[in-house]
């Protein structure tokens, strides 16, 4: 079951276009596990360093890069987003109203419940 959920999470993350971001909660909802944003974080943390998924396009609900054990990881994620043309405020936030991904097919996966 956990493998199936991760696969659904990865499928959603793969759809985030360049220059857009999604929140952990948004990904959880679209993957059919609404209310489980942390599961998205765990799934992304489990990715290998050579993953082609655009994991860097997932941010927290405040529009910020989430804290990591190694601050260099945060700097790297911000750099990837900046390279896509995204701009952070002085407080380190993205304007989610302007850059949040709005998928055409907003239908989340069935949670099976």
Helices (H), the chain: 2-14, 24-30, 37-45, 71-83, 96-99
The residue written with tokens 């209310």 in the block is 35
The answer to whether the CB of 96 falls within 8 A of the CB of 57 is no
pLDDT in tens, the chain (113 residues): 679 999 999 999 999 999 999 999 999 999 999 999 999 999 999 997 789 999 999 999 999 999 988 899 999 999 999 999 999 999 999 999 999 999 986 555 544 43
Helix (H) or strand (E) holding 58: strand 58-59
What backbone torsions phi and psi does residue 63 show, to the nearest 5 degrees?
Answer: 80, 25
Query: What fold is seen in the domain 2-99?
Result: Arc Repressor Mutant, subunit A (1.10.10)
């Amino acid at each position: 079951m956990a493998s199936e959920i991760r696969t659904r999470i990865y499928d959603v993350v793969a759809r985030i276009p360049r220059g857009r971001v999604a929140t952990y909660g948004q990904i959880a909802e679209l993957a059919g596990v609404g209310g489980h944003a942390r599961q998205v974080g765990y799934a992304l943390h489990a990715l290998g360093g050579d993953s082609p998924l655009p994991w860097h396009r997932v941010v927290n609900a405040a529009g910020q890069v989430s804290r990591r054990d190694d601050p260099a990881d945060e700097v790297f994620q911000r750099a990837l987003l900046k390279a896509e043309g995204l701009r952070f405020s002085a407080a380190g936030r993205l304007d989610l109203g302007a850059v949040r991904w709005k998928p055409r097919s907003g239908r989340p996966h069935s949670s099976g419940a």
